[in-house]
Amino acid sequence: MKFRTQIPISKSNNPIDYRSQVVSLGSCFAVNMSEKLDYFRFRNYCNPFGILFHPLAIEKAIDFALQEKQFIQEDIFFYNEQWHSYDVHSDLNATDSEQLLQNLTKAASETRNRLAIATHVLITLGTAWVYRKTEDDKIVANCHKVPQKQFKKELLSVAVIQESLEKIIAGISQLNPKAQFVFTVSPVRHSKDGFVENQWSKANLITAVHQVISETPNTVYFPSYEIMMDELRDYRFYAEDMLHPNGIAIDYIWERFTETWIAETTWPVMKEVDSIQKGLAHRSFNPDSEQHLRFLENLKIKITKLVTEYPNISFG
């Protein structure tokens, strides 16, 4: 798909290939891109603490990992028949407190291990709006449907966001000096904040990111938000809620990412992986037929040949 208006994006000098180790952190759009990396069988590790929308939440999660934090009972709370942590997404909620603590501690340890060997760290920022608990004045990653009267809403300033991003880069770089940072701002519109307020939030994020990358080596910006706003400026590229990019938009942004951030030498391999993935997804009307058995045998041969040539690729 090509459009008359295309944002110029410089090709990376350090592109992703099948030797790369990618860590993806941030908002739900990080999950969209991570799913593409997974589909094409790149080595990718995404959001161990669940979706994190604002930079302070991402910073805190990374700090947990760098410290290899051992979570204790005081780090979690019981509400609405489940155990929660204000520092992670509700996907990690559990009915058993010990299970949640174990999962959080394991996530911190595994994230540290992944960051230590990461070639690329992809960070997707969703919003600059945050919620602060009135009880202890701490900013949370997720409110877990606790009554809103227990929180105060505020907008992070450009300076605060910039400081947070600098801490993220410094912490990971101390562990892994070779890591390349790719920042992007999610194109998902946060309508609950208000449409004007959403634009204000995105503006603060974009300004802070550009200030950071202008002063910091090994950092770049990929314009997911701008592609959605300027190249795909039509509601036919949104899901039914008119807030999230639909499949066509995600595919297009991934295509632009591939053009600039995936090594060209890798493209033919991706095409072969795509063919295999479609074959694996195929469901025959007659699975016992000779034709289908030949199809499966040929698919097996293709997989064996590919993983022999590229041992980092796995089809599970």
Q: Where do the structural domains in the chain lie, given as residue ranges?
A: 21-262, 264-316
Helix (H) or strand (E) holding 181: strand 180-185
Give the chain's length: 316
For residue 135, what are the CA distances in angstroms to 53, 139, 140, 150?
22, 11, 12, 7
Question: Confidence class of residue 3 from pLDDT cuts 50, 70 and 90?
Answer: low
Question: Does pLDDT of 66 surpass 90?
Answer: yes
CA-CA distance, 123 to 223, in Å (whole number)? 12
Q: What are 45-56's pLDDT values in tens digits?
A: 999 999 999 999
pLDDT value at 5 more than 80 = no
pLDDT digits (tens, 9 = 90+) for 292-315: 889 889 999 999 999 999 999 998
Instruction: Give the angle 121-127-130 at the CA atoms, nearest 5°.
Output: 115
Cα–Cα distances (Å) from 152 to 52, 137, 255, 275, 301, in that order, read 18, 9, 40, 50, 59
| Model pLDDT for residues 247-281, shown as the tens digit of each residue | 999 999 999 999 999 999 999 999 999 999 999 99
Q: What is the mean pLDDT of the chain?
A: 95
Does residue 35 sit in helix, strand or coil?
helix
CATH 3.40.50 fits 21-262, yes or no: yes
What is the C-alpha separation between 138 and 131, in angstroms, rounded? 8
